[in-house]
Structure 1
Amino acid sequence: MELTVDFQGGSDVAGFLFEIEPCGGGERVVAERSLEDLRIPGMIPSLDDNPLDRGSSHLFSDFFTVAEPGCYDVRARPLQENGEPSQECYDAAVSGVQVRAKQTTEVLLLSQCEGDSTGSLDVIAGLNHPPVIVSIEYSPSKFIFECELVEVCVSARDPNADPLSFEFEQVGGQQLFMGPVEVEVEQDGEQARACMQAAPLWNGTYEFRVRVYDMLHENGGLARIEDYVGHPSHAEMVFPVHTNWDIELECYDASTREFHLLPGVREIVRAPGCNPIWPAQFYCSPYKWDDVETTCPDGRFRPETVYPSCDEIYPDGVPENGE
């Protein structure tokens, strides 16, 4: 890269105020002079390399006056166009200048100006790839029962090994009793895994969406790369959870008026505080709910007509664990 620099520099100086005063005090000579149209040393042999380099170019003012032989202190103050002292360039002065009879003493003063500071620009362009979802795992199953806790774990990887964040949300189905709640996140290099839990209250299909974002550091915290670059950088997946009524998996204990799981049915872990809504509580028979008047003419729920008897299934009594 080539840089073009104005060696003349643009300053606020339009001329100089010259002050000549005898050493030790006395009557001063003061004069203002505008900048000349020329530059020095300007290929003048006596000024080349004395002290300015012959190839340099400097604006200047010149004040010529007659003085008595002796010692003088000389000052040149740079002025703006309105006559005020320059805000960018400093006074130049020299003391003890000797003026001799019948001779001209020539003095070159340099007023130093402040320059414009420059900086550097270094542009680094890197590539970023979005995360990739590699697996989704259900526990205990994709098919669960009312109020049962389901845990879904999503594994993802990021080709650039960026930190990953997960976002779970429900996008379909009825209102949940609980969730979705993120319960676990772990990452090791490119691989990351996060789990969510939810508990449905009603039967049906529920849909969830997971989004996996790659992250970077910004303002002392983590921020999504897609917000930083202004383009999408995430992986997403919509997945279902199907919820069943569990009426067909239970028996009714008439002596205790309790319901128990049939042998071989897995233990259902329900969300705390969530009680399933059995269809038989609304329809006297879940198999004939389109004919309620015939099935339940007095409007009373008779579970023994809907559920098998636990006495027949567990003749020795229902085990404590329900199995």
Structure 2
Amino acid sequence: MRWISKAFAQGSMAVTLALALPACDQGERQGDAAGTTGVIRAALEVGGARHDVTAIHYKVVDAGSTCGDAPIAETTSLLEDEALPGSVLPAGSGAHAGADGLFVLPAGSYRVCASPMSEGAPSAECAPTEGVAYVAAEVTTEIQLVSQCAGGANGGLDTVVALNDPPRVTDLDIAPSKFITQCETATIKVSAEDPDGDQITFGWSITASPAGSSPVLQATDATGSFSTDTPGDYQVHVTISDVLGGSSGLSFPIHVSAGDCGCACPAGFTQLADGGCARVYEVTEDLLINQDASCDDTGDNRYNGCNGEPYGFQWTDLGGALGPVRQVDIALENGITCSPGDRPVSLNGAAIGSFSAVDSCACFPTHAPVSLPDVDIGPYVQGDANSVTIPGPSCDGLSRSDALGGGFARVTVTYDCGGGSTCLPPETACVGPGGDTVCVDLSSDEANCGGCGDVCSGRCVAGVCTDGGADRVLVAGAPGDPSWNYDVQAQLNGTGAFSAVDVFNIQEATPTLADLQAYDAVLVYSDYAPFDAATLGDNLATYHDGGGRVVVATFANASHPLGGRWANEGYHLIEPAGQDQPNETGPLGINEPGSALLTGVTSLGADSAYRSIGGPVNGGIVVATWGSGAPLIVRGVKNGRARADLNMFPPSRAARSDFWYGSGAEIMRNALLFR
């Protein structure tokens, strides 16, 4: 059985190992193997390069453990005097320095860890290696491990120099003007060109603003919109970049003066002449309380079943984002009653008035319209559920009313508008085709997908235009626990943005290009090294170039990075470096407000925020950071196609208690949809 460690650099050192079972112990290994003994033969090398290695440290652990766990047996051996014989090396091998070790162990599977040493410390030139072997009874199992070493190999250098001209702004239009009031929105359109014909991208930012202000800049490509609630002078900057790294920018001012903004009522509310907003709540049968139709010849009446319990109706107030409630008017149609007299009416348990009932105990309507104008608003609950109840000493109830549009009751609520343009969450105020302010949901409105005026000809999912049917996604992970892949799958399915989310364990095999092409987007992450990092990197690069979307996350951009073309041709946006896993609880740092990569994202924390310690590379732009300031979401352009990478480990707290919590699913969704 031959095991080859992950690539470290050029050069190698061979380490052979023999494992044997004592004849007196021929049963299968049970439980802890502590107490077994090991024998290591040791010597020095000749022939092959020694590098800085003087010895090999061996460590044997259970096959299901890692090299960081406590050993079953371990020892250190000097290199062999002579080069290893060719019989223990692959055909075609030359002279290689190495060492040999022998352990006597119970039958079972073991993980063997070998670490080249230099004067008692780990080698700086040759990497650790490991492999799994099975020890059978009365048989010596010999395996070969290879430590990849840094070498001084030569390589070709063919340098192509491209002369690149940066793109430049050719026109700037701000409507209605760069002078606006705090009630207005400035629409900004930038025209730009690249002298070489390169594809260009636009980046937007607010570089100066008055203290205490909260300006909003929403931008897609060459068009942006600016608004603020605070008068003062603002500076906006737009950066134009080409695919070869050339860029130029333009800063310009927007001057905002104070203004009386009046009020625009949300959709579904009526604008009143005095600036207020009104909402009519129609009471249909499903909103009735303690009323049935068992005594009803016409289908118009409901009553309390003669149980003597209060009856009435309920509704949910939708004006939570508006100013205070001014007035509440209630109208109802009194139906069946079996005794005359006054009927007190309560709003949320507090008395608000009464009406007189007729005396007619029959299964047909005895319509009596009841109006309770301008009731006491003290008990009214704005933005939540409300109920009107009426004591029912006899068979009392309500009837349908033509005067109330076929309903049983009607509640009209008048609000102060709140002094500004207001839309109820999750809607945003945009300017409609006729110039009026309309409230839209930017996450799903095809006419305003991700931003006001951004028309989507397909489906708008999470603020991203998907160009027709929902996408198929592949989660390609090498998890420490196979269930972690299914947690990521569940998190993405929970966003509702994808028609299918499948999983592929890249520790066990490598997806072919055909496998990848069955999906619109692929999320790649690792905890263990991929089965074949180089081939996986080649396939992903070809898949990206052919139109697929690839999102690389921890540790596939950290300690177990992709190889092949992905690494060699600069597809990474986050430098594959070492890792850290600090506790993250602070608010996210937002560098590009309004970016589609931040749709629905409010927070992200983790007790162990596993990530790369590397920064952005290959022209990567940091869209958002962890609370500590470390990069979290990085976007860039490769071969003319936009893509994004994530500096986070995809499994959530549901998979393990120290993993991420917050908006992780939205972050992954947005990155997979980004283009």
TM-score normalized with structure 1 length: 0.31
Higher relative contact order (CA 8 A, sep 6+): 1
TM-score normalized with structure 2 length: 0.15
Q: State which structure, 1 or 2, has the greater radius of gyration over its C-alpha atoms.
A: 1
